[in-house]
Copies of this chain bind each other. A is one copy, B any other.
């Protein structure tokens, strides 16, 4: 199905796309290859009751593009593996062209293309999707999780918590919310935007570690802290709480808006650390992309774990993140 519907032939660095034993990609000289993959299973990671095929294809692309962004890289080509349940096994089902359109248009926005894959039938009643995305980055320029040092400052690219609220809205129809709030939360869950231009800019200004926020900042910053062997300190007062998250949290009992910000997953913003000496250069480089300063939310010290500093108290929140 992927083979029938995906664009054929070479483009740019793609020497051979769909139609041979392997795809062939010629990376730019002096670049290394980045490779990432994500699997999404129906009723575990998404429901077809609220994903249109187009938006589902788009999100599958976005979550993988976000991993390339988090290394400071540029995407090139993707392999799509489909496990097709009996209910979707007719190749003429309009589901497929819409899904492939969403996927390939989102890839193309960032100059990446569908270059291969494998389509198999499953006797299981759930659609399963795997995308593996190949990108490139200048040798020596990739930003890892393990480079943070004590004294580095912690930054994040945008508002957090909206995607987790959006998922709760989608899973239960019983929330009465102003329509613009509802729309915004749901859109942030269904259609996150990978921060590629931002990640690429950050790779050029001396940041020390970076990750994308897929499992909540408490968990993802926990990966940076653990890999780097340092402690991350988040200032609760510095974390922006989106208005939509505040409004949504009011509708629930026993939920602080801050909990969505800290523990909600799938925002696909970037969080990174930067030595203080590179802070000004960084802000200057990001302004044309973000149109506002990036948000400083804390700092690294000797130690381990992720700690939340709030009104004179502190508590550890390492890996207290989102579970799919």
Question: Nearest chain-B residue to A125 (Cβ)?
Answer: B124
Question: Nearest chain-B residue to A117 (Cβ)?
Answer: B37
| Bitwise interface map of A from 110 to 139 toward B, beta carbon under 8 Å scored 1, else 0 | 000001111011111110101010110101
**A16 surroundings in chain B (CB, below 8 A):** 142, 144
In angstroms, Cα B15 to Cα A139, docked, is: 10
In angstroms, Cα B73 to Cα A93, docked, is: 37
Q: Out of B21, B24, B132, name the residue touching A79 (CB < 8 Å).
A: B132
B20 touches A134 (CB 8 A): no
**A33 surroundings in chain B (CB, below 8 A):** 24-27, 33, 134
Given A130-B81, A132-B79, also A22-B44 (CB < 8 A): no
Q: Out of B25, B37, B324, name the residue touching A132 (CB < 8 Å).
A: B37
In angstroms, Cα B203 to Cα A251, docked, is: 65
B32 touches A81 (CB 8 A): no
**A146 surroundings in chain B (CB, below 8 A):** 20
Instruction: Tell me how many chains of this kind the complex includes.
Output: 2
**A134 surroundings in chain B (CB, below 8 A):** 33, 35, 134
| Bitwise interface map of A from 41 to 70 toward B, beta carbon under 8 Å scored 1, else 0 | 101110000000000000000000001101
Instruction: Tell me how far the C-beta of A167 lies from the nearest C-beta in chain B, rounded to whole angstroms.
Output: 16
In angstroms, Cα B83 to Cα A219, docked, is: 22
Question: Nearest chain-B residue to A119 (Cβ)?
Answer: B39
**A22 surroundings in chain B (CB, below 8 A):** 34-36, 67-68, 70-71, 73, 135, 142
A23 proximal to B (CB < 8 A): yes
A188 proximal to B (CB < 8 A): no
Among A15, A68, A210, A211, the one with the most B-chain Cβ atoms within 10 Å of its Cβ is A15
In angstroms, Cα B77 to Cα A210, docked, is: 23
A182 proximal to B (CB < 8 A): no
A303 proximal to B (CB < 8 A): no
A19 proximal to B (CB < 8 A): yes
A231 proximal to B (CB < 8 A): no
A296 proximal to B (CB < 8 A): no
A144 touches B20 (CB 8 A): yes
Given A43-B123, A81-B81, also A35-B23 (CB < 8 A): yes
Given A16-B144, A41-B83, A144-B20, also A35-B77 (CB < 8 A): yes
| Bitwise interface map of A from 99 to 115 toward B, beta carbon under 8 Å scored 1, else 0 | 00000000000000001
A130 touches B144 (CB 8 A): no
Given A121-B44, A124-B124, A130-B130, also A71-B20 (CB < 8 A): yes
**A132 surroundings in chain B (CB, below 8 A):** 35, 37, 79, 81, 132
In angstroms, Cα B196 to Cα A237, docked, is: 58
Q: Out of B37, B68, B139, name the residue touching A26 (CB < 8 Å).
A: B139
In angstroms, Cα B122 to Cα A97, docked, is: 25
B45 touches A120 (CB 8 A): yes
